[in-house]
Amino acid sequence: MDMEFFFSNIYGQFQGAVQYSGDNTGAYADGYGIPEMCEFMKNEGKTPVENIALFNEYMTKFYSVSVV
């Protein structure tokens, strides 16, 4: 159950970015969509796992300060 919860939280960040990408309303007008997600994942200076962690942190901060 803990593993399922962990992965649900991780891929949920990606789901949100994809679902609302390009909405151009509210906080999403300033990004937080597919282009930003891809920039994190293309970072060759970090490992793929580090990129996922950085994207997770980015989206967590977004959701904690904005009303979506």
Residue 59's alpha-carbon distances to 1, 19, 20, 47, in angstroms, are 23, 13, 12, 18
pTM of the model: 0.82
| pLDDT in single tens digits along all 68 residues of the chain | 699 999 999 999 999 999 999 888 887 888 889 999 999 999 999 999 999 999 999 999 988 875 55
The residue range of the domain holding 61 is: 2-65
Look at the chain and report how many structural domains it folds into.
1
pLDDT attached to residue 31: 83
What is the token pair recorded at 25?
A: 């309303």
> The dihedral of CA 19, 47, 54, 9: what is its sign?
positive
